[in-house]
Amino acid sequence: MSKEVERSEKSKSEERTVEREAIGKTSSPEREPNTTSQFQCWLEDGKKLNPFDFVAAEHLDDTRTIGIVQEMKNLTDAQSHITSYVSHDFGKPQAKPYVERVSSVIVQVSVLRNTGEPELMMPVPSDRNVYFATSKEVRFAIGADQITGIELPAGVIKQSNGDIVPVGLDSEYLLGPQAAHINVSGISGLATKTSYLMFILLSVYQKVDNVAFIIFNVKQSDLLHIHEKNDELCKGDEELYQKLGLECEPFENVEYFLPRGVGNQPNSDRPPDEYKLYAYALSDVYDRFDLLFADVPDPYHTLDTFNSRIRDGWQHGQVVIEADRAGRYPGDRVVVRTWSDLRDVDNELLQHAYNLHPVTPPRIKRELTRLTSSPLFVNNRLQEWVYLGEKIKEIESGKIFVVDIANVHSRTQPFVVGDVMRSIDELYRDPAIENRPSKLILFVDELNTIAPAGSTSAITEQIVEIARKGRSRGTILFGAEQFKSDIHDQIVGNCGTHAIGRTGSAEIKRAAYAFLDATAKQNIMNLAKGEIVLSTPTWRSPIKIGFPKPTYKTLKY
Amino acid sequence: MSVFSLKVEKDRWKNVGSCLKGGELILSPFEQPIEEERRGDPDQADDDQNFPTDKNLCLPLETDLPDYKKRISDIPFTRKFKFFLDGSIRTKYVGEYVDGPISFPLIVSEVATIVIEVESSKPKPAAFKKYLYFVFPHKDTNTISDGAYDKLVQLQKQFEKQGSNTRIDFMKKKEVKRDLRSSLLGKVRSIMHSLEHETAVVSLQRKPSDWLIMDGAIRKEEFMKLENTIGLAKSFSRKPLFRLGNKTLTLPAYMKRIREGERSAIFRKETATTTVEKELVFWYERIRTFPPMEPLGGIVKIDMKLPKDKLEENDRKLIDEMSSEIYSLRLPSTYPRQRWPSCIYPIKVCEEYMSASFLSRYCLSQIGYELKNAI
């Protein structure tokens, strides 16, 4: 070795010693030896560590193995609980032992990556120094150097030693083609699901070109002012945005679509200054009755017959319903152009025209009345009111459409979402449509109401279709719900990235969380407000992250 | 004591083997347990030697105690005991070395001593020594050839000069008590006691007010020179007899009277001949009752230097306070370890520390192969 190299090696080694203070040493006892996937270490007295912290252990050939803290145990030399009981003079809480027992915190670390070239996946030997991982090591451990697409800021890792490390998702795994979609779940209020999804959305908005966004607002006016700046951002939040490489600015190019309410006013809480009302004329959705009747049981497919007859018979803005030519109900014929027309069709005519059982027409009309009685369904849509299906097909890159469904009746909400989904489907299937964005992000909160587990409804199918095919065609689902187990398993299964906020014990035990190990589940149950555990295919272990407050205004109630 | 390197020490073991060239080493089976597991309680055996049958009568220095006992558990005390000393041995019988008509058992022992300091109720190591000893019979035993002996003496000096972790020592004919193998083990114990003393005196910096508790009885004169030191034994001889008024009681008969939190009277041997016997007083104390328990379960024996014929009030006060402090040392317990009712926790920490420093059983067995290959 030349003197220069020797000096450089020496200075590197000194630098490491000066910069880093060991917090403990690895331990590989006979009964719990270190393995290729995990190692253990004891912690020096007074050092503080938490689950999800990143640590680095010295390994062979001057390499380091970086891992994430999974579990910690406080070990004493008491052999059993009985030993502890005896140590207090046979169960006297007031007994004061003369000496404190020897104890140590034992840390279980899940191996993420080794710095060797090629990577050394041998178990970490015993008695090697363990340090807090540096920012560089943390990013290396999560494969920041292996990102093939665009690095999308996903939050920050807050180490217990005060280090803040920005982490990102690979766009190829969030927006396709390698994997796609993100799903956030967790207890309402504590999990900050919407805020996190909007943060990821901001990342995509600022970092990726040729993307458009459709956001469904489901809570009050939560997302009805995303173009306005958040005045409550503190300096710390601004610094975090800076650290993450994001501009601390609200969204631009936002168009709000609010549901038509009574008196042609928006049926929305605290609407933005500029918006468009949306409504549905029969001519808009005559071919989407399957979505309208999605929650109506149809065991004998009679509704299905009705839907297809209307869809197939619609011509020049109308459908003609007439009795059959056999003459059993001769002469009767009605032209239907509006919802009122359809609701007023004679039962017998409908029965004979569509060859239905006598009980079916009253049922269809009853359901139709129930489902279309809100001001959202209009006989004649004014020019200033829009049909969402049409607008969706005009969406351009860089545009954000916010569709407010917060005050829309729960039985109609799935229809609105389903209609948008089908329009997107058509947008990407129709070769005649040019200049469509290469990626379209769909933000759907309370996904469980629209695509519940076990459902076979048309709307669920629509969402499942996006989850299934979106990866290749560029329609990406940003979904959120309280309980992951409540949503359709194909949506969960096709989702590449999962973010989980605080979750209850009963929920976390369900199959939808099978990708998490027992300790990760335990840690998720103890998350604080605003903390998220993120899992993505490129990471070997879920990681806890924090993120700044939204850049846009959220109105208080 | 230098940093332990297995590679370096292996070379030294080979050197030891080279000194024995010309003979043959018949290795003992690998599975054979270490020697200390085969023998009885060495502390009790050592203490038995202090009380031979014709010199085992003990007289009380306190005759005014009702029933020759005193409750000490309620006596307030300020903490005196800051240091705790213990030693430990792990011996492997390597095998039998045969050189023509003569032979001797070859043993290798790890000898460790430690002082644990208790500061703010937390135990931490204050001084530690550990060596690996090859103990050979001296040439005056006629069991080793002069050539081999001379080479080993040279190597012994070399190891000491190097500050090696491996050491060599010899057992003279006068030290042979029973069979050679047991006597070699006795020699190792003697080495351990010397090392204990060295650790307590040389390695330990303590203030005059800091007291030291050493595990076991005070047997050697050099320990008597240690200031502010007591011996605390959980294993002790059952041979002494106690003259209490006009009765003479055996130890179990006397201890039957002693309740938890009480101490016995202070005693000294009637026929004290050595300096140790003349200056040493001792008493017993029950720190634990956990029925069913044999009469001596939970009893500890305390040895203390007190070169006076009569106890003064100050001495009694000191002994009472120390007894009370020893009683409080029963917590935390070392349950379910062997003899836990009589064990104090800092000594357990000493034992754990030394145990963790010992070579593994496999490594210890490897020594035999290194020697054999070198021979």
pLDDT reported for residue B73: 95
The parent domain of residue B227 ranges over 41-80+209-343
Residues of A in contact with B323 (CB under 8 A): none
**Looking at the complex, does the CB of residue A511 fall below 8 Å from at least one CB of chain B?**
no
pLDDT reported for residue A182: 96
CB contact under 8 A, B123 and A100: yes
Same domain, B217 and B327: yes
Claim: this prediction has a pTM higher than 0.90: no
Does residue B168 lie within any of the structural domains?
Answer: yes
Does residue B13 lie within any of the structural domains?
Answer: yes
Average pLDDT over residues A226-252: 94
Average pLDDT over residues B156-175: 95
pLDDT tens sequence across B13-39: 999 999 999 899 999 876 666 676 666
pLDDT reported for residue A14: 45
Same domain, B184 and B220: no
Average pLDDT over residues A454-470: 86
Tokens read off for B150: 């001379």
A41 to chain B, closest Cα gap in Å: 16
pLDDT tens sequence across B325-345: 999 999 999 988 888 999 999
Angle between helix A458-473 and helix A413-429 axes, rounded to 10 deg = 40
pLDDT at A13 over 50: no
Q: What is the mean pLDDT of chain A?
A: 90
Residues of A in contact with B352 (CB under 8 A): 77, 102
What one-letter code names the amino acid at B89? I
| % of chain A with per-residue pLDDT over 90 | 69
pLDDT at A554 over 60: yes
Would you say A64 and A137 are in contact if contact means Cβ atoms under 8 Å apart?
yes
pLDDT reported for residue A327: 53
pLDDT band at residue A169 using 50, 70 and 90 as cut-offs = very high
Average pLDDT over residues A429-458: 87
pLDDT tens sequence across A117-166: 999 999 999 999 999 999 999 999 999 999 999 999 999 999 999 999 99
CB contact under 8 A, A88 and B331: yes
B335 to chain A, closest Cα gap in Å: 5
Same domain, B16 and B141: yes
Residues of B in contact with A77 (CB under 8 A): 348-349, 352
Would you say A74 and A103 are in contact if contact means Cβ atoms under 8 Å apart?
yes
pLDDT at B293 over 90: no
pLDDT reported for residue A329: 58
How far is the C-alpha of B234 from the C-alpha of B42, rounded, in Å?
12
pLDDT at A3 over 60: no
pLDDT reported for residue B329: 95
pLDDT tens sequence across A260-271: 999 999 999 999
What one-letter code names the amino acid at B93? Y
C-alpha pair distances (Å), A344 with each of A284, A286, A296, A304, A377: 19, 16, 20, 20, 15
Q: Give the B-side interface with A, CB within 8 Å.
A: 118, 121-123, 290, 325, 328-333, 335-336, 345-346, 348-349, 352
CB contact under 8 A, B122 and A100: yes
pLDDT tens sequence across B37-61: 666 677 787 788 778 878 889 999 9
For chain B, what is the domain count?
2
pLDDT reported for residue B294: 78
Average pLDDT over residues A289-300: 88
Burial of A214 (0-12, 13-18, 19+ CB in 10 A): buried
Residue of B nearest to A83 (CA): B335
| % of chain B with per-residue pLDDT over 70 | 96
Name which residue leads in pLDDT, A324 or B177.
Answer: B177
Nearest to A98 among B290, B331, B352 (CB): B331
Residue of A nearest to B118 (CA): A99
pLDDT reported for residue B31: 64
For chain B, the distance separating the N- and C-terminal CA atoms, rounded to the nearest angstrom, is 27
Q: Which residue has the tokens 């000191």?
A: B318
pLDDT at A330 over 70: no
Instruction: Give the closest residue to B361 by CA, choosing from B106, B42, B35.
Output: B35
This complex has an ipTM of: 0.78
Q: What is the mean pLDDT of chain B?
A: 90
Instruction: Give the closest residue to A527 by CA, choosing from A503, A510, A511.
Output: A503
B79 to chain A, closest Cα gap in Å: 10
Name which residue leads in pLDDT, B122 or A189.
Answer: B122
Same domain, B108 and B245: no
pLDDT band at residue A10 using 50, 70 and 90 as cut-offs = very low
Same domain, B215 and B292: yes
Does residue B281 lie within any of the structural domains?
Answer: yes
**CA geometry: angle B255, B257, B260, nearest 5 deg:** 85
pLDDT at A6 over 80: no
pLDDT reported for residue B341: 92
pLDDT reported for residue A432: 81
**Looking at the complex, does the CB of residue A18 fall below 8 Å from at least one CB of chain B?**
no
Does residue B160 lie within any of the structural domains?
Answer: yes
**Looking at the complex, does the CB of residue A100 fall below 8 Å from at least one CB of chain B?**
yes
pLDDT reported for residue A17: 46
A122 to chain B, closest Cα gap in Å: 23
Q: How far is CA A539 from the centre of its chain?
A: 17
Does residue B121 lie within any of the structural domains?
Answer: no
pLDDT reported for residue B40: 67
pLDDT reported for residue A331: 58
Q: Classify residue A510 by its DSSP letter.
A: S
Residue of B nearest to A45 (CA): B122
Does residue B218 lie within any of the structural domains?
Answer: yes
For chain A, the distance separating the N- and C-terminal CA atoms, rounded to the nearest angstrom, is 70
Residues of A in contact with B331 (CB under 8 A): 87-89, 95-98
Same domain, B143 and B21: yes
If one counts every other C-beta atom within 10 angstroms of the C-beta of residue B8, the result is 14
pLDDT reported for residue B30: 67
Does residue B348 lie within any of the structural domains?
Answer: no
pLDDT band at residue A519 using 50, 70 and 90 as cut-offs = confident
Cβ contacts of residue B292 below 8 Å, gap of 6+?
A: none
Q: Which is the CATH superfamily of the domain at A151-279+382-545?
A: P-loop containing nucleotide triphosphate hydrolases (3.40.50.300)
How far is the C-alpha of A399 from the C-alpha of A422, rounded, in Å?
19
**Looking at the complex, does the CB of residue A30 fall below 8 Å from at least one CB of chain B?**
no
Residue of A nearest to B353 (CA): A102
Same domain, B238 and B299: yes
pLDDT band at residue A8 using 50, 70 and 90 as cut-offs = very low
pLDDT reported for residue A5: 45
Same domain, B25 and B159: yes
Nearest to B335 among A82, A98, A101 (CB): A82
**Looking at the complex, does the CB of residue A99 fall below 8 Å from at least one CB of chain B?**
yes
CB contact under 8 A, A99 and B121: yes
Residues of B in contact with A44 (CB under 8 A): none
Residue of B nearest to A81 (CA): B335
| % of chain A with per-residue pLDDT over 70 | 95
pLDDT at B312 over 70: yes
Q: What number of C-beta contacts closer than 8 Å exist between A and B?
A: 55
pLDDT reported for residue B338: 84
Average pLDDT over residues A32-58: 95
Does residue B5 lie within any of the structural domains?
Answer: yes
B346 to chain A, closest Cα gap in Å: 7
What one-letter code names the amino acid at A177? P
Inter-residue long-range contacts of B12-16, CB under 8 Å, 24+ positions, other chains counted? B12/B159, B12/B164, B12/B166, B13/B166, B13/B367, B13/B370, B13/B371, B13/B374, B14/B370, B14/B371, B14/B373, B14/B374, B15/B155, B15/B374, B16/B134, B16/B152, B16/B155, B16/B166, B16/B168, B16/B371, B16/B374
Interface with chain B: mutation pick from A102, A126, A127, highest number of B CBs within 10 Å: A102
Where exactly are the structural domains of chain A?
Answer: 3-141, 151-279+382-545, 291-372
How far is the C-alpha of A162 from the C-alpha of B340, rounded, in Å?
45
CB contact under 8 A, A102 and B349: yes
Cβ contacts of residue B262 below 8 Å, gap of 6+?
A: B69, B70, B71, B72, B73, B285, B286
Average pLDDT over residues B175-188: 89
